[in-house]
């Protein structure tokens, strides 16, 4: 099992989408690369993200990055859909340098690579989100109407 952290705007939709991606074992809503160890008060530089555990025999960090790009606008700085602010920036984070190399390789292979603003950085800090944010769209499906990810994409890999 390997772990990568994916930021794609509001974490509710990202978690819902990623849990159905082939090779994903588990997901957890969280915050990446902030400057504190708690989420009391504001976000202190955190990006909303989803911790994704995946089976390296079935998929890769390269493929996880490819899946992230299915649900984000990779040219948008600190904004996805109606959500605006530093915490809604997009990114791929990991403690594994190979994951970051694979994410960069995916971006570098694209013809639009010079316009892409997705961060690809080492994970420096991670905080799990409160229980109310875990699997939010499974528990409260009506919140899907708020999500920036279209429903036909959101459920693309659901069986």
Maximum separation of any 2 CA atoms in the chain, in Å: 41
Instruction: Sort residue 29 into left (φ over 0), alpha (ψ -120 to 50) or beta.
Output: beta
- The Cα 80–Cα 8 span in angstroms is 7
Q: Tell me how far CA of residue 2 lies from CA of 42, 55, 99, 121, in angstroms.
A: 30, 6, 9, 17
Q: Is 10 annotated as catalytic?
A: yes
Q: Which of 10, 96, 144, 147 is the catalytic position?
A: 10
117: number of Cβ within 10 Å: 13
DSSP 159: -
SS3 (DSSP) at 153: helix
The catalytic residue positions are 10
């Amino acid at each position: 099992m390997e772990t990568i952290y994916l930021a794609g705007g509001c974490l509710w939709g990202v978690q819902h989408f990623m849990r159905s991606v082939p090779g994903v074992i588990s997901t957890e809503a969280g915050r990446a690369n902030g400057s504190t160890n708690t989420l009391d008060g504001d976000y202190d530089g955190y990006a909303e993200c989803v911790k994704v555990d995946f089976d390296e025999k079935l998929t890769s960090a390269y493929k996880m990055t490819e899946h992230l790009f299915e649900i984000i606008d990779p040219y948008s700085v600190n904004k996805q859909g109606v959500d605006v602010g530093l915490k809604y920036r997009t990114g791929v984070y990991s403690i594994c340098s190979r994951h970051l190399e694979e994410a960069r390789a995916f971006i570098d292979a694209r013809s639009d690579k010079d316009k892409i603003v997705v961060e690809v950085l080492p994970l420096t800090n991670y905080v799990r989100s409160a229980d109310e944010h875990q699997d939010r769209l499974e528990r409260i499906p009506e919140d899907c109407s708020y999500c920036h990810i279209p429903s036909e994409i959101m459920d693309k890999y659901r069986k």
